[in-house]
Amino acid sequence: MQLQDLNWMDVDRYLNTDDRIILVTGATEQHAYLSLLTDVLIPLRIAQAVAEREQVLIAPPLNFGVSTLFAAFPGTIALSKQVFDSVLTEIVQSLLYQGFGGFLIINGHGGNSLPSQLEDLRMEGHARITWYDWWISEASRAFQAEHGLLLDHANWGENFPFNRVVDVPDGEKLPVNLGYLEAGQTMRAVLGDGSFGGLYQVDDALMWELYERLVSEAAELARALRQP
């Protein structure tokens, strides 16, 4: 169930039986040969599958995040941490006012984190909030360990069929040592194509396996947010 497919009366009826909602946070930023919206498309696909499986409402994604690191790459649109925190906090507060109480925030971007204001709401018992970084989750770490793979920015670990926009190079890129980033130098100068290194791609069957594990893990988190 997505807000775009409902009217306000539908949401009002939903709140009679459930107060959970899934929020998606990500970024619009360079991902080498992958979509600029990679950090949105991955958590959104996970969220859509979880919403269908658990019959939970899902809000439209927040497409912009804290991406100043990649400002020199065309297409990257960055927010400051202060702005990101304010926007996400106000989104949650507006939904709280309407009667929502359980929030699963599926995040796709490493520059984003749970705002301190929302942490306070959680600690004070005003809202049930779970923040889920899919790429460092238990499911992701277990998958990497089992297959001897290391996920990093714009390498195989973010290369799903649904966010691949061009053919990706074969082979592997040596890991980039960000310690060589000198004063005044841009990340674009150090990274080249934008990948942090590692394999560019693995078999799609493996990627779908990772995706299914992530969906199952996130679905459990959504289930745990049910009202007592």
Report yes or no: 174 and 197 within 8 Å, Cβ to Cβ.
yes
For residue 178, pLDDT beyond 90: no
**Total domain count, the chain:** 1
Give the whole-number percent of the chain exceeding pLDDT 70.
Answer: 98
pLDDT at 138: 98
Report yes or no: 15 and 100 within 8 Å, Cβ to Cβ.
yes
For residue 193, pLDDT beyond 70: yes
For residue 207, pLDDT beyond 90: yes
Domain of 7, CATH number, reads 3.40.50.10310
135, 174, 226 from 223: Cα distances, Å: 20, 40, 6
> Tens digits of per-residue pLDDT, 18-56?
999 999 999 999 999 999 999 999 999 999 999 999 999
Q: Which domain holds residue 151?
A: 3-224
pLDDT at 177: 81
